[in-house]
Each structure stands twice: as C-alpha cells, then as structure tokens.
Amino acid sequence: MSKIILGVEGLTVYRENRAAVQDVSFSLEAGTDMAIIGPNGAGKSTLIQAILGILPRKTGSIHILGHALNQKGHFPAPVRDAIAYLPQNFWFDRHIPITVEELVGLGWERLGWQLPWSGYKARRLAVYQALAQVDSVHLKKQLISGLSGGETKRVLLAYCLVRPRRLLILDEAPAGLDGLGESDFYQLLEKLKREQNWSILQISHDLEMVRRQCDRVLCLNRTLRCQGVPEVALSSHNLAEAYGAEFVRYRHSHSPHNSW
C-alpha cells in the first residue's frame, strides 16, 4: 500500500476577498510526479503557497508526512527539512559575492546541526555529491551572478539534494529557459526522481511534458475540475472544463501529434 506524502482536504484560500482556491481535495502518494495545470489566474500558485504555509487558508487541512500544517502555517522541523521548494523565479542581489558551493552549502546547515558526524568535511562532501548529481561540480567556484539560466536551475536542484528530501515542490521551475534548456531540466528531474524516490508536485503549462512524464494530473480553475492519470485528465473534455473550448480547439489544430 502506497504511503501518502501530501494530503489536502477541503482547502479554500481567499485573496482580496474572493476565493482563489475553493474546496480542493487531493492526495500525493510516495514516488509520484503530480502536475497542476490550468489557465492563468486559476489559483495554481495560490494552492502551492497555501500548502507551504506562505498563504493562510480559510478552511481545510493540509498534512505532509502525516503531520498537519498548524494555524500559524508551520510544520514540525523534520517535515520542513523533508520539503524542497523551487520557485518560478530565483531573485537575489547580484552584488553579493556568493559562490555556487557556498549557496548549495546553505542547504546543509540545519542538517549539520543535528547529526553527530557533521562538520566541515561532511558538509564539503555533501556539497560535492549534490553538485555531481546535477553535473555541475565544475561550477562550484563560480559566482551565482555569472550563471546562465540553465546552470542556475541545476544549482538550485543541487541545493535540494544536499540533504535528504521527500517532497519536491516546483512552481514552473523551468520558466525562462529555452526549449533545449527546459528539455534538459525535465530529463534531469526525471533521473533524480528515480534516484532519490522523490514525490513531486509541480505547476506546469507544458501539457505535452505532463502527458509524457507525470504520473498524476490536477486540472485546476479555482476549483478542482478533474484529477487522474494523464490519459484521463488531459482528455479534450476535461481540458475544455478547465481552460474553455476555444483553448482545446486551438491546441488540437496546432498539435503536431494531433493528440488533442
């Protein structure tokens, strides 16, 4: 029987006196890659931010690894440490002279405080291994400000890898990459998912990627319009429910595989 990593029940979140997400319920099983899709303004980022405790919820419950998000928007420390979050944009002051290995090492700190074998050598080894897993050891001495978009995404994945994680949450993490960079990112993500047994919850506008790579799909447009395996959730009927019939007709006429 699969273990439930994330459970959301009856979640409603308000923004500016209106329900941006209303009565949403779903669960994410261990080792599953789940995509959240829907039109702009559908509440996808709001849902993610509520799960992380960044936005307060009006009603509903959120459980990660069996622990509830409390009324202050906090999980116990061991649960927080098991979650990695990659935002759509990574903003930082480019005048701060921080190197790649220094940034990735920041992800080690809490773990280092808790383990008896922690220390400089253990931290350095963890950073090296994390960078090696994303083929970025050669970048370790470079300043973050000098990285390309694709390199930055890889380094952020290394930050997630420097300590054990159970749940990876991505809010359109490949945004800003060109087609090749986005393809490379998703290939790397799929490899890491297998190696790390990550459970993944990701927002995506790339429906073809979702069809190829994800195990489960949530179709969101303020309320949950459908959920299921890609073959079911991405049917023309369900996409019309989430996006509108005009979108589906456009996708069908422009799809090289005519799969819509």
Q: How confident is the model at residue 117, as a pLDDT?
A: 52
Amino acid at 177: L
Separation of alpha carbons 163 and 219, rounded Å = 32
- Residue 89 C-beta-side C-alpha neighbours within 13 Å: 3
- CB-CB contact of 73 with 53 (8 Å): yes
**Token output for 78:** 């061991």
The CA radius of gyration of the chain, in Å to the nearest whole number, is 19
pTM of the model: 0.87
Helix axes 245-254, 236-243, angle to 10 degrees: 130
Q: How confident is the model at residue 216, as a pLDDT?
A: 97
Separation of alpha carbons 49 and 37, rounded Å = 15
Determine whether domain 1-75+204-260 maps to CATH 3.40.50.10800. Answer: no
Q: How confident is the model at residue 227, as a pLDDT?
A: 95
Q: How confident is the model at residue 252, as a pLDDT?
A: 58
pLDDT in single tens digits along all 260 residues of the chain = 469 999 999 999 999 899 999 999 999 999 999 999 999 999 999 999 999 999 999 999 999 999 999 989 999 998 999 999 988 777 777 778 999 999 999 888 765 445 555 577 888 899 999 999 999 999 999 999 999 888 988 999 999 999 889 999 999 888 778 888 888 888 888 988 988 899 999 999 999 999 999 999 999 999 999 999 999 999 999 999 888 876 766 565 555 554 44
**Token output for 87:** 């935002």
Q: How confident is the model at residue 259, as a pLDDT?
A: 45
Q: How confident is the model at residue 253, as a pLDDT?
A: 58
Nearby residues of 163 by Cβ (< 8 Å), 6 or more positions away: 81, 107, 108, 110, 111, 126
